[in-house]
Chain A
Amino acid sequence: MRGFFSQIWTVVVMNVLSLPRRLWMSLAAIFAVSVVVAVLLAFLAMAKGFEQTLAGTGTDRIAIITRTGSQSELNSSMSRDTVNLVATAPGIARDAGGDPVYSAELYVIVDGIKRSNQLKANIPMRGISPRGFGLREQLEIVEGRQFEPGRNEIVVGEGVLRQFEGFELGREIRFGKTNWEVVGVFSTGGSAFESELWADAPTVQSQFQRGSSFQTVRLRLETPGDVQPILEFVENDPQLILDVETEADFFANQGRALTGIAIFGWILSVVMGLGALAGALNTMYTSVAARAREIATLRAIGFSNISAFMGTLAESLLLSVLGGLAGAIAAWLFFDGFSASTLGASFTQVVFTFELTPELFRDGIVLAVAIGLIGGLFPAWRAARVPVVTAFQGGE
């Protein structure tokens, strides 16, 4: 048994050591696999980054209330009376003074100039109250200060600052007839709120002709994850046509928007992988042909055909795994942490960063191994069947 494995090991080492003789052919195979893996990981990292940004935005300690069927904050609307009524529902956490902890908010869209293409894109501007600040986790003013209620002042998210021009601290921005001043920059630890501009809710109501209406209500739940008491309250009142969801569920749904991109990435890279597979097969058949005499000689001195098979397979796997690693490293260098923005569910830009997680890395290597395995199998089969007599023939 020991002999069996040491035979295989010897042939594997011989194969690997002879690689420099077929340098260009081997490099071509490595390169092809690395490009395929890099393309796959670029798409997956994009979808994953978007998903994680939105998943990190929601928490199950907060519930969000929207008008039934509206699907997004932008489409929702509710009157002040509705807000006041729903605030009396059971199941809402209360502060030290015994008042329910909630925030009624507005969500309007304004234009910003994207740095990447100098074109206009939709940025959400949230009308919010100091109470609403308390309902965001990891909120931190990183520069400047909070806006003052009643004034045309805004604080901007770090994501907006990264992707858009003209929102730097101290800048004046004109929306319609009114000027607004940027007085602060906030961070929420990378969540989608960083793609927003925040201003005083009553000021937004008056400057954007919203009367006394709001769009959504956020509230802190008495028991995290339990929206049932509020849901029952809403269902028992025919005046309230509202959806109640935890913020975590709300944003998890929106985060799936780029799942299609991930599927597209898989289809594309598997098709490209077939091309790389053709390259790998070519390389390995050439390798077997070039080493035919060597293989036959080994057979003649008593090596098993399994060792010839394993040697070729190992060579193919080594090349494709090297390619996979190179592709994954390239994807990591170029794409991990890459900041981008796209249109989200509320018809506004969501700023997110590409995220190359260990699972995605593993997916890339799996694809590379699959190419190496299939690309090595058939040539290895041929290697195993090289007739011993080849050892004693001349030429190639």
Chain B
Amino acid sequence: MKDVYLILKNLTRKPLRLFLTVFATFIAFMIFGTLTAFQQAFDAGVDLAADDRLVVVNKINFTQTLPIAYVNRVRAVEDVVAVTHLNWFGGYYQEPRAQFAMFAVDAENFLTVYDELVITDAERAAWIANRQGLIAGKSIAESFGWQAGERIPVNSNIFSQRDGRTDWDFDVVAIYEGADPQTDTNSVYFHYEYFNETQSFGGDFIGFMGVRTTDPERNEAVIAAIDDLFANSPAETETVPEKAFNKAFIEQIGNLSLILTSVVLAAFFVILVIVGNSMILSIRERTREIGVMKTLGFTSGRIFRMVLVESLLIALIGGMLGVAAAGLMVSLVNQAPIQLPVLVLGGSVWTQALLYVAVLGFITGIVPAMNALRLNIITALSRS
């Protein structure tokens, strides 16, 4: 108990230095918490991808189209539960800069394949019945201020109607939510029939297909069966698990994980050096005092433990405050009206942070603690 008192006295003997080292630690952990939340949000597309879902795209590239006749042929493949098809619409709302992800889909099967998008059965029935209806994700609806029941115009930067107009009228039938807090709700889906009948591009083509299989174990067989069906046709297909597709897609932007990890590492390294140095310094200043404590009968082990606990405490206070501040940052970013994935600062970040607190506290404390442990009473007391 007496040790706790001594440790606290030691910690607060130079309040300014304590504040500065804790502050430096705080900054490092705030950067860690915020960037990890970003990284997890970017990875969510891969982590949340359904294992029993495949994506069928044109083998040349996923922006090349496929004939709509393919859909029924894939539906007949063994172990396929449901198939839907999607066309990128290139939608924007009111001004060309306000682009968002909008797809023309086959509404009947769409929500069976993508069951993480949640709307009520009544809303689903209403959507299927309304040819001009669309369903919008919660996040995108909030950023444009759309309400269910509203009628809105949406423009396409790719397609035009037969009369040359590039805007289409839609009824917002429902706002869907994600089954998981990190499910992407920045997309909008509407009827393929409405798209196919009104656009002037020449019809009956689709962008890609989403396929649900009976069991992830059967994926490989289904992939082979689908790609065999269309081998040597003018539009060969390439079928991949959704996880792999999403991973390749996000990697097109660049190696975000590498960038974020490097930055976090750099921040930790800087703080390690700063805090480590200040710990060494503050123990060196106490050389005489430690000599006196040893003379009074404090064992070397006890002093060693006290120094280590001191550096662990600095890391713990700074680290926990830093992650808490990161939580605040994350909620600020989530409220900002920008199309970003939902950031979540979950338990895994706190656990990781605790681990880093322990590592940081140990590394910055071990050298001064060893010095204190080895300190010879005579040398300590003779040093002025």
Contacts and interface: CB of A to CB of B under 8 A. Distances in A.
Interface stretch (A97-105, A109-117, A128-136, A385-393): A109-117
B267 A111 contact: no
A266 to B, nearest CB: 13
Given A69-B157, A177-B232, A342-B254, A282 B274 contact: yes
Q: How large is the interface on A (under 10, 10 to 19, 20 to 34, 35 or more residues)?
A: 35 or more
Contacts of A25: 277, 281
Interface in B182-223: 201
Contact of A177 (B236, B247, B269, B277): B236
Interface string A27-65: 010011001101100000000000000000000000000
A337 B160 CA distance: 42
Contacts of A208: 60, 64
A333 B201 CA distance: 51
Contact of A111 (B20, B61, B255, B274): B61
A70 B160 CA distance: 11
Contacts of A32: 270, 273-274
Q: How large is the interface on B (under 10, 10 to 19, 20 to 34, 35 or more residues)?
A: 35 or more
A271 B30 CA distance: 9
Contact of B251 (A119, A271, A276): A119
Interface string A274-301: 1110110110011000000000000000
A95 to B, nearest CB: 33
B263 interface: yes
Contacts of A85: none
Contacts of B6: none
B277 A281 contact: no
A82 interface: no
B14 to A, nearest CB: 9
A285 B281 contact: no
Interface stretch (B21-29, B68-76, B121-129): B21-29
Nearest to A209: B234
A114 B273 CA distance: 37
Interface in B62-96: 63-64, 90, 92, 96
Given A25-B277, A120-B248, A274-B27, A281 B20 contact: yes
A275 B64 contact: no
Contacts of A69: 92, 96, 155, 157, 166
Given A28-B277, A122-B252, A271-B27, A278 B20 contact: yes
Given A39-B266, A272-B270, A278 B232 contact: no
A38 B269 CA distance: 13
A121 B157 contact: no
Given A28-B273, A275-B271, A285-B16, A109 B64 contact: yes
Given A70-B157, A272-B266, 7 more contacts: A25-B281, A28-B277, A39-B263, A67-B160, A114-B251, A116-B255, A279-B274
22 contacts: A28-B273, A31-B270, A36-B270, A39-B266, A67-B160, A69-B92, A72-B157, A75-B90, A108-B61, A108-B63, A110-B60, A114-B251, A117-B255, A119-B248, A268-B31, A272-B27, A274-B27, A275-B267, A276-B274, A282-B274, A285-B17, A396-B285
Interface of B: 16-17, 20-21, 23-24, 27-28, 30-31, 58-61, 63-64, 90, 92, 96, 99, 155, 157-158, 160, 164, 166, 201, 232-236, 247-248, 251-255, 263, 266-267, 269-271, 273-274, 276-278, 280-281, 285, 384
